[in-house]
Chain A
Amino acid sequence: AQSVAQPEDQVNVAEGNPLTVKCTYSVSGNPYLFWYVQYPNRGLQFLLKYITGDNLVKGSYGFEAEFNKSQTSFHLKKPSALVSDSALYFCAVRDSSGGYQKVTFGTGTKLQVIP
Chain B
Amino acid sequence: GAGVSQSPRYKVAKRGQDVALRCDPISGHVSLFWYQQALGQGPEFLTYFQNEAQLDKSGLPSDRFFAERPEGSVSTLKIQRTQQEDSAVYLCASSPRTGGATNEKLFFGSGTQLSVL
Contacts and interface: CB of A to CB of B under 8 A. Distances in A.
Interface residues of A, number: 25
A43 B4 contact: yes
Interface string B101-117: 10011111111000000
Interface in A62-88: none
Contacts of B106: 36, 44, 46, 103
- The bracket for how many chain B residues form the interface is 20 to 34
Nearest to B50: A100
Contact of B43 (A42, A51, A100, A105): A105
Question: How would you classify the secondary structure of chain A's contact residues: helix, strand, loop or mixed?
Answer: loop
B91 A108 contact: no
B110 A41 contact: yes
A107 B38 CA distance: 10
Given A90-B43, A105-B42, A45 B108 contact: yes
Contacts of A51: 101, 104
Given A43-B91, A43-B108, A90-B43, 14 more contacts: A34-B104, A43-B111, A44-B91, A44-B93, A44-B106, A51-B101, A51-B104, A90-B42, A99-B100, A100-B56, A102-B33, A105-B35, A107-B41, A108-B41
